[in-house]
């Protein structure tokens, strides 16, 4: 098995994906590698046990284990269909619980997904009761994690100029606007973070762009900086077209919040010291 020595949250968050509704999910094939299972046959046995545990706990396994067929490249350009699963955080937790806790990666996964699943349950239950600013903090945290994972994937694809890479995504989503253009339109100061000055819905649109680009780069094994930039641009453009088709609000049309998240953080620190 692979020798993974640096166990931390980023191991699991680097393979986390986010769908169009802002929900987190993992692919079983990617989780298999992180949990150091060489053979899919053995890992599939763990998944089957986890699905059974899901049924016993009176949860609908189809809500947590979505079966997928994927095409992978094999020798001489040929392709082969393989089985995969789209997993919820709860499904990952059950898989970890049914693994061999003597394996360090499994033991760490058991702790990580137990804690994070509980956090997610609390957040999902309480999300609608949050204020808009609290929702912004929550979505901003997800975009920060998403960008970290995307940067790692883009680096492997050959990206060196990350400003250009991220601007490609913004240009697709914002009808040609770069990060600087967005900042100017919002009236921000030099170097002020545009993500800190977005409402929760605008952050969700960007989070979807980030997650789907990350997934596309990995799935299609995109190589080369220009190809990665074009992939990011096309994903932003496709999401924009989808929003238009659904009659939704374009990201540039969302109002700028009264205060940036940096200002709110500073304000809260002052209040907490008084």
The CA radius of gyration of the chain, in Å to the nearest whole number, is 20
Two tokens, residue 261: 């998240």
| Res. 51: pLDDT tops 90 | yes
Most confident region among 66-75, 99-108, 154-163 by mean pLDDT: 154-163
pTM for this model (two decimals):
0.60
The pLDDT, as a whole number, for residue 5 is 39
- Taking only the tens place, the pLDDT of each residue in 192-217 is 999 999 999 999 999 989 988 988 89
Two tokens, residue 16: 């986390």
Pick left, alpha or beta for residue 235 (phi over 0 → left; psi -120 to 50 → alpha; otherwise beta): alpha
Residues in the chain: 274
Residue bearing tokens 């601007």: 167
Burial (CB count within 10 angstroms: exposed 0-12, middle 13-18, buried 19+), residue 151: middle
- Report the C-alpha gap between 158 and 154 in whole angstroms: 6
End-to-end CA distance of the chain: 53
The pLDDT, as a whole number, for residue 154 is 96
Beta bridge partners of 85: 67
Q: What is the mean pLDDT of residues 173-199?
A: 95
Handedness of CA 142, 145, 148, 151 (dihedral sign): negative
């Amino acid at each position: 098995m692979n020798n993974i020595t640096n166990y931390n949250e980023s191991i699991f968050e680097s393979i986390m994906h986010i769908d169009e509704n802002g929900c987190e999910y993992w692919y079983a094939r990617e989780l298999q590698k992180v949990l150091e299972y060489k053979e899919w046959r053995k890992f599939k046995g763990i998944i089957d046990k986890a699905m059974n545990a899901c049924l016993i706990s009176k949860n609908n396994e189809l809500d947590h284990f979505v079966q997928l067929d994927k095409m992978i490249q094999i020798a001489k350009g040929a392709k082969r269909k393989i089985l995969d699963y789209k997993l919820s955080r709860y499904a990952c937790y059950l898989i970890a619980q049914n693994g061999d806790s003597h394996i360090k990666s499994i033991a760490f996964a058991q702790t990580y997904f137990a804690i994070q699943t509980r956090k997610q349950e609390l957040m999902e239950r309480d999300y609608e009761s949050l204020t808009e600013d609290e929702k912004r903090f929550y979505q901003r945290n997800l975009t920060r994690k998403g960008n970290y994972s995307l940067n790692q994937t883009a680096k492997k694809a050959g990206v060196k100029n990350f400003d250009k890479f991220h601007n490609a995504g913004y240009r697709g989503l914002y009808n040609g606007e770069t990060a600087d253009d967005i900042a100017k339109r919002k009236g921000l100061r030099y170097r002020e973070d545009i993500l800190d000055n977005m409402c929760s819905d605008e952050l969700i649109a960007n989070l979807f762009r980030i997650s789907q680009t990350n997934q596309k780069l990995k799935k299609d094994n995109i190589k080369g900086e220009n190809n990665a930039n074009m992939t990011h641009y096309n994903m932003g453009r496709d999401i924009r077209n989808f929003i238009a088709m659904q009659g939704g609000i374009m990201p540039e049309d969302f109002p700028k919040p009264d205060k940036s998240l940096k200002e709110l953080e500073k304000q809260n620190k002052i209040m907490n010291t008084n």
